[in-house]
Structure 1
Amino acid sequence: MDLQDGAPHLKLELPVNRALGARYDALVASGDISEDPVQREAVRHLDLLNTRLGETRLASKKSSLGWLFAKKKNQLWASVQGLYMWGGVGRGKTMLMDLFYEVTVIRRKRRVHFHEFMADVHDRIHAHRQAHKRGEVKGDDPIPPVAAQIAEETRLLLFDEFSVTDIADAMILGRLFTQLFELGVIVVATSNVNPDLLYKDGLNRQLFMPFIGLLKSKVSILHLDSPTDYRLEKLAGSPVYLTPLGDEARAQMNDLWQRLTHGMPPHKEELENKGRKIPVPCTAAGAARFTFDDLCMQPLGASDYLRIAHAYSTLFLDDVPVLSKARRNEAKRFITLIDTLYDNGIKLIISAAAEPADLYMSTDGTEAFEFDRTASRLIEMRSEAYLAGERRERHA
């Protein structure tokens, strides 16, 4: 290792870690995915990053771990360049992120939707301010201690759906990530937009611009500009509205899930919305799967459905029953859910007890009128034209 301009540069000659490349090769060989030169380039970048992480971990372990070395150790990790992958829906960004998370040599790692990460940051900031009021901690600036907490817990931060929509987030990102990068935290992120367009048209965006410069100095930018939407390709020729309910519909839903998630193991997670937790029982490769009861029998509203729409580009919804005035609350939630998914261009794969026009039995009342629109949208959402469309733009 030599030091140049105060920054450490490793000269360890280790073979490139091809763990991700091997997983990608296996998926291609099995037919779960198609060979794609743009994805292959992303795999190469991620394998090189994994090698760099392994080298840095080895170098830091060989050095003294005392407090005198702490600063140099942080400099060592801070020299590692992360990766920011951006591109349209269905290009494989989340799949590659999932695979990298599985194979990376780093143990202190955290994979999280950017929105959830920032909600956690705001909670930590609030807790520090309350502790300061009680005289339990010194210093009224919460950013350094919050960054130190995160860096102690996590060496590698993997952000899915990196986006900035909230001015409160925008105003603290620069200071927070300056601290995190100095403490040696490495970032890998996926996003739908070029980093230069983050927080586009946001309030006081000029105050946010230094963060973009900081981010670009700490990550390599890779545009996944493949012309193919692989998620759409997987759906080609397959019905996405399955009725009636039963073993056949369930088997078709399971088959589509396996195809769209490339057979990757699903996991549970939680989304945060305004201090509430939304359980997600099944997610993989950027898709999420719920039952009707999960989303429409629970006290969820429009902002919760919007939070889900911002987190996943494809939604599976199982076991939608025929509704009536006796299930007015569930019907209203279902109407709101479909409106939200439609307005955001989310791909929907659904199993239901009847065709859209027959899902609501009553012919009078507000819900009956509103359900006419829902039925129309459900019909459109299974069309090739809808499935081929990008999600409508939002702040990114």
Structure 2
Amino acid sequence: MFDRAARDLGSALDSEQRPAADALAAVGASLLDASPVEGARRRVRRTPARGAYLHGPVGRGKTWLVDVLADQLAVHLPDGTVLRLHAYEAARRLHRAVAARAGTGTGLDGALTDLLGDARALVLDELHAHDPGDAMLLSRLVRSLPERGVVLLATSNYAPAGLLPDPRHHHLVLPLVAALEATCHVVAVDGPVDHRAAGHGGARPRWCTGAWLTPGTAAQLAAEGLARPVPARRRQLLVGGRPLWALAADPLDDDDGDAEPAVHLHFAELCERPTSVGDLLELTDRYRTVVLSGVPAPAAAGQDPWRRFADLVDVCWDRDVRLVVLAAEEPRCVLDLPITDRDRMLSRVSLLPAIAAS
């Protein structure tokens, strides 16, 4: 199945992808061979097979490999038994489910039931766990999967022991590390070929219609079919329960079926304030184009604002939201940012057309 999928892309599995493909094939075979006990609750199903946790640098095909298996499983298993989520989205859903069950006495256990439903396989993409609160929720999620008969298929740029590397918080992720190592085949996918750069990485079509504009003039915006916001278009949004000022935002109830709503934001408003990943997910629920202006040179902002900028890149990439960046420097400046995951950011923003003013 993996060789055929690679050929369809005009590529072939490399030697570093082969062990991961073999591990995933074994997981898939065990899932297709096993069947739930008729009429029984999930808790009395047989112990699930070991899952798979693929880790390695960007562009090595981790998500693509897992998606090939997940697509195959979805063909042969009933609807709802393969649940695919970005790790950010899984954490958000758990936060919301816990809040919805406040005062019921069911708490996190009930929230996990709400999240998993009838799933037998959970695909978690980009299990990075930079936020301590998210890391603790994801830890509880992963530890609950065996008793619920659910197999985990996960991707990450980090080996399990490298998750949540901040030494102030790393102890919070140790139960997750132990659960991953106990329940998954942990496979490094770290070959020399960047398949995304070679055009075999499954780039998102809307993402690739975005742009990185330096410095972001009105003429550059116009070439992207966008107008520079005027003060009269400034409006206040409510995101995550707090006000967020947008330079401009299209109405969400527009009757024009061909138009997709866009929001214009400033780096200082979005990234220099305590914006969470949940806020970014909420924004991209509403808007299919995000224009971020005022992105400074790397030395002009601290670690926290750049971490939020990186989160915006990740969320827009994962959700295939068009991102237009108006920046002081060209895309390779992300390698100078004071954060982890710089290589992943560059891999993604390098697929945005970079346009400098003449």
- State the TM-score bracket (shorter-chain normalisation): 0.5 to 0.7
Residues 114-134 of structure 1 deviation map (CA, whole Å, 9 limit, x = unaligned): 0111011101111111xx1xx
> Cα gap change, 1:185/1:334 in structure 2, threshold over 3 Å: closer, same or farther?
same
1:293-327 deviation line (CA, Å, top 9, x unaligned)? x22289x998875323234779999898xxxxxxx
Matched, 1:186 2:158: no
TM-score normalized by the length of structure 2: 0.62
Correspondence for 2:165: 200
Considering only aligned residues, what root-mean-square deviation do their CA atoms show, in Å? 4.1
Q: Contact between 1:314 and 1:348, CA under 8 Å: does it hold in 2?
A: no
Residue 305 to residue 336, structure 1, CA distance change in 2 (3 Å): farther
Matched residue, 1:296: 291
More helix by percentage: 1
Shift in Å, 1:336:
7.9
| 8 Å contact from structure 1 (residues 302, 340) kept in 2 | no
Q: Distance in 1 between matches of 2:195 and 2:306?
A: 29
Whether 1:38 aligns to 2:26 is no
Contact 1:160–1:191 (CA<8 Å) still a contact in 2? Answer: yes
Distance 1:275 1:202 in 2: 27
Report the alpha carbon displacement of residue 112 of structure 1 after superposing the two structures with TM: 1.4
| Unaligned 5+ runs, structure 1 | 1-19, 250-270, 282-289, 321-332, 359-396
Question: Which residue, out of 305, 311, 317, partners 1:307?
Answer: 311
- CA distance, structure 1, for counterparts of residue 323 and residue 38 of structure 2: 58
Q: Is the Cα–Cα contact under 8 Å of residues 144 and 176 in structure 1 kept in the other structure?
A: no
Matches of 2:322 and 2:89 in 1, distance apart?
26
Kept after mapping to 2: 8 A contact 1:309/1:340: no
1:338 to 1:115, Cα distance in 2 relative to 1, 3 A: farther
Q: Which of 65, 73, 76 is the aligned partner of 2:39? A: 65
State the shift of 1:89 in Å.
0.9
SS in 2 for 1:222: strand
CA distance in 2, matches of 1:65, 1:221: 33
Q: d(CA) in 2 for partners of 1:207 and 1:319?
A: 33
**Residue 72 of structure 2 is aligned to residue 103 of structure 1:** yes
Kindly state the Cα deviation for residue 26 of structure 1 after the two structures are TM-superposed. 5.0
1:128 aligns with 2:132: no
Displacement of 1:216 after TM fit? 1.0
Amino acid at match of 1:25: R
Deviations 1:9-35 (CA, angstroms, capped at 9, x unpaired): xxxxxxxxxxx33xx33532x562134
Q: How does 1:5-24 map to 2 (within 5 A)?
A: 20-21=1-2, 24=3
Summarize the Cα distance change of 1:340–1:183 in structure 2 as closer, same or farther, 3 Å threshold: farther
What residue number does 1:356 align with? 356
- Change in 2 beyond 3 A, CA 1:84/1:31: closer
What corresponds to 1:278 in structure 2?
Answer: 284
8 Å Cα contact 1:85/1:191 also seen in 2? yes
Query: Against the structure 1 CA distance between its residues 145 and 337, is the aligned structure 2 distance closer, same or farther, given a 3 Å change threshold?
Result: farther
Displacement of 1:64 in angstroms is 4.2
Deviation at 1:159, TM superposition (A): 1.1
Q: How far did 1:174 drift?
A: 3.5
Code of the residue aligned with 1:349 in structure 2: it is L
The alpha-carbon deviation at position 111 of structure 1 amounts to: 1.4
Distance 1:184 1:160 in 2: 20
Aligned-partner Cα distance in 1 for 2:192–2:82: 32
CA distance in structure 1 between the partners assigned to 2:283 and 2:32 by the alignment: 35
Please give the per-residue CA displacement for 1:246-290, whole angstroms capped at 9, x wherever unaligned: xxx9xxxxxxxxxxxxxxxxxxxxx85356231599xxxxxxxx8
Letter in 1 for 2:166: D
Is the Cα contact below 8 Å between 1:38 and 1:226 reproduced in 2? Answer: yes
Over 4 Å off, 4+ runs:
240-245, 300-305, 311-320, 336-341
Give TM-score, length-normalised by structure 1. Answer: 0.56
Flag the 1:149–1:350 CA change in 2: closer, same or farther, 3 A: closer
- Paired with 2:95 and 2:9, the residues of 1 have a C-alpha distance of 43
Displacement of 1:357 in angstroms is 2.6
- Give the conservation status (yes or no) of the 8 Å contact 1:161–1:311: no
CA distance in 1, matches of 2:140, 2:84: 21
Distance in 2, matches of 1:227 and 1:312, equals 26
Q: Is the 8 A contact 1:147 1:176 kept in 2?
A: yes
Contact preservation (8 Å) 1:114, 1:160: yes
**Given the superposition, is the C-alpha separation of residues 52 and 166 from structure 1 closer, same or farther in structure 2, using an over 3 Å criterion?**
same
Structure with higher Rg: it is 1
Q: What is the match of residue 146 of structure 1?
A: 111
Alpha-carbon separation, structure 1, partners of 2:15 and 2:95: 40
| Match of residue 210 from structure 1 | 175
Matches of 1:150 and 1:242 in 2, distance apart? 36
Query: CA–CA distance in 2 between the matches of 1:280 and 1:191?
Result: 27
2:33 is the counterpart of 1:27: no
Taking a change above 3 Å as real, the CA distance of residues 212 and 109 of structure 1, as seen in their structure-2 partners, is same
